[in-house]
Chain A
Amino acid sequence: MEGETKKTFVVTRFDPDQDEAPRTDTYEITVQPDWKVLDALNHIKDHVDPTLSHRWSCRMAVCGSCGMNVNGEPKLTCKDALSDYGDTVEVAPLANFPVIRDLVVEMEGFMEKFKAVKPWIMVAKERAIEEGTYRQSPEELDAFKQFSMCINCMLCYSACPVVSAEPDFLGPAAIALGHRYNQDSRDEGNAERNEVFRDDGGVFACSFANECSEVCPKNVDPSGAVQQAKLLNVIDWATGLVVSRGGK
């Protein structure tokens, strides 16, 4: 095919049964001009080295499986064009995560943080189906829509310097998700979620590097969500000083 070129892939390998620590393998393969980084990894897996392990599925930038660090930057590899790189491409597992094998990282820590923000609609009294849908204006939808676009690819965690330093930090995606529900006009769970947000490792652990929003492949702007949550929590706290909330 026209435009095919050779590229060298330096891929991090780690098999806990054999390797004390991660090492790299180098593969030189012929790539097609319209390939993404993921296509090259799949080619290596199918035709060069079947022992290479990586996660992937939808190959259309929505399932969130295939996040890796490419030349040091967190990337969704199915969306990341090979033509943007030179002759050598380094592929490593996401930073800040323990590595299970090769390019596969441990997700359980993320799943715990994800659940900690109570990412579901909380209401005092459940609405019956017979009452129909809630009314929500397009403006009310816009207030949280952007923060509902997270595909849980975890690139933001790989980019965040606070995550490295502060193991308890909820992190960009989880806070953005909690903020998404706090901003949803149908939800009444702010008070409960804000307790989590104000706890150790909550929103105030963030020191606003803003790199999470830079690497986000879906323009969720998690860094914006975290700062907004900070501001709202400060206002909420200050209001609580002036006006007694009673009971709570």
Chain B
Amino acid sequence: MSNARPRLDAMRPSQPGPTRTADPRPPDKFPGRGNYLGYVLFGSCGVFLLLSSILVLRIVWALAAGEAAWNDLMAQFQNPIYVAYHVLAFVGLVWFTLRFFSLFPKTQPAKIGPAPRPPDAFFAVALNGAFAVVTAALAAILWGAVL
């Protein structure tokens, strides 16, 4: 509530009222309270998407550049920093996905066209089920168990 906080325009009317008002202050205890932390972390997970996309580009480039480049990249990936990053990115994106799935049912209107919305339980089973299947399939591919 101190004066040091930035001035906000939030919820000001288009015309100033007839008496002087105190400036709006941003939500109290942001981002330490309620859903805020989850919301901020959810947004922060975008960093993983960005960094991992760059990595994918590097992988594609290495593939095109020949076997030596590929082996060199694979060697770099052994570096503990890369390993730590991948573990962190994996945890972050799994959490990102689960939060997204938990919020997903409420984003569905009662009807889309003529189709009524299925019960919330359907979404939980369908989304998490699909997630588990896709994750397992990808893991199997990466492990070399299939293909």
Contact = CB atoms under 8 A, between A and B. Distances in A.
Contact of A224 (B20, B22, B106): B106
Interface in B62-117: 103, 106-112, 116
A92 B1 contact: yes
A21 interface: yes
B24 A73 contact: no
B11 A210 contact: no
Contacts of B36: 161, 209, 211
Interface stretch (A58-66, A107-115, A119-127): A107-115
Contact of B11 (A22, A98, A144, A211): A98
A232 interface: yes
Contacts of B103: 208, 210, 227
Given A73-B28, A95-B26, A230-B107, A164 B12 contact: no
A75 to B, nearest CB: 11
Interface of A: 12, 14, 16, 19, 21-22, 24, 69, 72-73, 92, 95-100, 105-106, 108-112, 139, 142-144, 157-161, 163-165, 167, 171, 183, 207-211, 213-215, 221, 223-224, 227-228, 230-232, 235
Given A92-B28, A96-B26, A158-B27, A142 B43 contact: no
A98 B21 contact: yes
15 contacts: A12-B1, A16-B19, A96-B10, A98-B17, A99-B22, A161-B26, A161-B39, A163-B10, A207-B39, A209-B39, A214-B35, A228-B106, A228-B107, A231-B109, A232-B109
Interface string B107-140: 1111110001000000000000000000000000
Nearest to B102: A210
Interface residues of B, number: 39
B2 to A, nearest CB: 8
A227 B106 contact: yes
Given A12-B1, A22-B1, A143-B111, A98 B23 contact: yes
Contacts of A158: 27
Interface in B6-62: 8-15, 17, 19-31, 33-36, 39, 43
A173 to B, nearest CB: 11
A112 B35 contact: no
A96 B22 contact: no
Contacts of B14: 109, 112
B28 A100 contact: no
A95 B28 contact: yes
Contact of A142 (B1, B25, B110, B112): B110
B34 A214 contact: yes
Contact of A221 (B17, B24, B106, B109): B106
A158 B24 CA distance: 10
A167 B9 contact: yes
A244 to B, nearest CB: 18
B109 A96 contact: no
